[in-house]
Structure 1
């Protein structure tokens, strides 16, 4: 058994947790990052990255800037596994409404679609570099067995499954929707079950996506077609034909489709979006997940903060889940650094600091979560199919689409900057 001390202990080595660890270490704040997943070698990562992932994150401009700031973005660029997009198209198939988000004058970047493992590998490479600085300690393949709060002055004592004990002034839970940290802190959740299941897969279409992220608002739920990077020589010879699909459906309907052959599923998927990009030539990496939303009733406790999915989980229809978590990272790191400097290097993770973080992030995330729920309700379900609701919805989308300043505002909000 060994004991060690750290200014900050982050539990959860996913994208959000790793990014916060890098952000703090680069500002010379001692941080320990604990990841329950086994340690991966360069060869392990190579094997993972050899296959195209059906999932993709729509990184906003704010998330890209944060990844640049911590030194991970250059690895993503060098991997050639990102698909930039300059337009977002949202439309409904049973109405006249369509929204097109773009910059007509300059075709400016709106964001990048990147597979989860690509981001994680970039962060892993950067973590190896920063770990040599003396400010960052990485612990992989370790699970937390116990959390003990010792009072505001001493912070937390954390016991790992191998018997190691780590003391930290600040404990950060970045350990996902089922957060052990949140549960141990006694923080409750507001939850909502959409009674929907999302089918995700990677598809190759007849027509190119032309750097456009698309979302069809169907009576059964949303269907997103998101650009994927071209990773093989044949892909690059005929670029912009691979997309990541997230198709939200009532659970029973999703289960019926998942029981079909891949070819039948591909044909029904193409028909569902009215062959927007033609027929589907190839479909692969078919998977599914149930759609729920959850929100922690508090993001903080004494000497403790929650970030990312440990604090909030939203409907994927706007692709903002990870981006909200990255904004948490920026806000928490900023508040910690601000109060640390103002106190002459004495205050770290104090209640007032954490309270400011919560006031900045929780209301914003709550509005986003309820907005996504409202949009889903407005387009999917029995009530949404009533003729008056359809008429109001179509007219609203049509009117909004004609107001260019409002469209630019929406695009700016989505970018996070």
Structure 2
């Protein structure tokens, strides 16, 4: 390999997107994915089932996926649900925030509304990435090793970078090592990078639901005393869905941990009824519920994003509360900034320096403060609406007045919508 070889550990959406971006720039890159490879038949079997989880892709993330030739495949699959409006309200409180254009505004203007983003199931994005990585235009520069785990990392020198050993004994050397291997990042641990963590003592219940009323391309979020409850549009995948569109949604319901675990012991119809009541029947009764799962909620931030010849991106570097659905979008911004910094500094050095410490520090200075601000902002919002302190009357009054007044300031609402889109 030549001296600008990059090794990415972690074949999820963030790692695979960076790999494609580098390969498109004709930079040799190897991607290690611990998951076993699937053929097209296996992919179709996975895609035949509705995934209760969904990613709220911002316009900036969509633009990046389009740039690497992946979004076009997602569009062709018809497994996306664009949303042009976001509704945020609080239970038993004043004020409602509406971002973007409603279906009525669209009809009045006789034009399609500008989208705020698109909801896409993780497996749909993974499949599109896999398809793109197999194409000849990138495969010349991209090597994908699937079904292998990294068992050892040795830093050789600033000039040589890392030697990484896989569980089958294969050794790979790279000038730059990228950790894109998630919240429990092996790369971060092996590099000796510490982690700041915050446990919310909350658990999120996620599932797919079919509602009585259509979602009308609107993402909804109720701010409840127990935590946030998000209703996110899902793509219609069956003939029955398409005959009666916009009735399936992904749910992320945040609850105190003990309350969530108790609810998960109930029958599906009991969970559905309690969920409908929690939404104040915003979309009527819940007619079907599928794929109920849960996960504990924590926030975390790596104490450093970089070390000699090593950089962290995505969840390996940071993890935020899901109340605003921005976790993946922050990781995609990492990809955009890191790629730009790498290619800019490489060209400026006369195509000699790849992934220098100066380059990596520039990336860290750009991304870590922004991600920290987002993490603490989401934590503050969670504190403002959920828990015993949030139910004190002075806090309630502050919240009510704030939401009411913000909702009346149209330029501010447009600014929030622009921030949500990531552009």
CA distance in 2, matches of 1:160, 1:333: 26
Q: Does the 8 A contact of 1:6 with 1:166 survive in 2? A: no
Q: Which residue number corresponds to residue 122 of structure 2?
A: 116
Alignment map for 1:171-320 (pairs within 5 Å): 171-320=177-326
Matched, 1:52 2:58: no
Distance 1:395 1:170, change over 3 A: same
- Residues 6-405 of structure 1 correspond to what in structure 2 (within 5 A)? 7-103=5-101, 107-130=113-136, 133-405=139-411
Structure 2: where are the runs of 5+ without partners? none
CA deviation string 1:99-134 (max 9, x = no partner):
000146762111000000000000000000157642
Q: Could you tell me how far 1:4 is from its partner in structure 2?
A: 9.7
Q: Distance in 2 between matches of 1:119 and 1:36?
A: 17
Paired residues of 1:4 and 1:165 also in contact (CA < 8 A) = no
Q: Distance in 1 between matches of 2:415 and 2:223?
A: 21
1:6–1:167 Cα contact (<8 Å) kept: no
Q: CA deviation at 1:359?
A: 0.5
Does the Cα contact within 8 Å between 1:33 and 1:139 map onto a contact in 2?
A: yes
Q: 1:39–1:133: structure 2 CA closer, same or farther, 3 Å change rule?
A: closer
Q: Secondary structure of 2:201's partner?
A: strand
Give 1:255 deviation, angstroms.
1.0
Distance 2:133 2:3 in 1: 20
CA distance in 1, matches of 2:188, 2:137: 27
**What SS does the aligned partner of 2:7 have?**
strand
Give the Cα–Cα distance (whole angstroms) in 1 for the partners of residues 262 and 162 of structure 2.
Answer: 48
SS of the residue corresponding to residue 181 of structure 2 reads coil
Does the 8 A contact of 1:113 with 1:228 survive in 2?
A: yes
Name the count of aligned residue pairs.
415
Deviations 1:213-253 (A, max 9, x none): 00000000000000000000000000000000000000111
CA contact (8 A) 2:273 2:286 kept: yes
Preserved CA contact (<8 Å) 1:31 1:135: yes
SS at match of 2:11: coil
Classify the secondary structure of the residue corresponding to 1:349. Answer: coil
SS in 2 for 1:150: strand
C-alpha distance in structure 1 between counterparts of 2:165 and 2:418, whole Å: 43
Q: CA deviation at 1:18?
A: 0.2
How far the C-alpha of 1:344 sits from its partner, in A, is 1.1
**1:413 Cα deviation after fit:** 1.0
Greater than 2 Å deviation, 4+ residue runs? 3-6, 103-107, 130-133
Conservation of the 8 A alpha-carbon contact between 1:131 and 1:137? no
Q: Which stretch shows the higher mean deviation, 365-374 or 105-114?
A: 105-114
RMSD in angstroms over aligned alpha carbons?
1.2
Deviation at 1:43, TM superposition (A): 1.1
- Equivalent position SS for 2:135: helix
Is contact 2:133-2:139 (8 Å) kept?
A: no
- What displacement does 1:263 show? 0.4
On the 8 A contact 1:58/1:114 being kept in 2, the answer is yes
TM-score normalised by L of structure 1: 0.98
Does structure 2 retain, via aligned residues, the 8 Å contact 1:170–1:349?
Answer: yes
Q: TM-score, normalised by structure 2?
A: 0.96
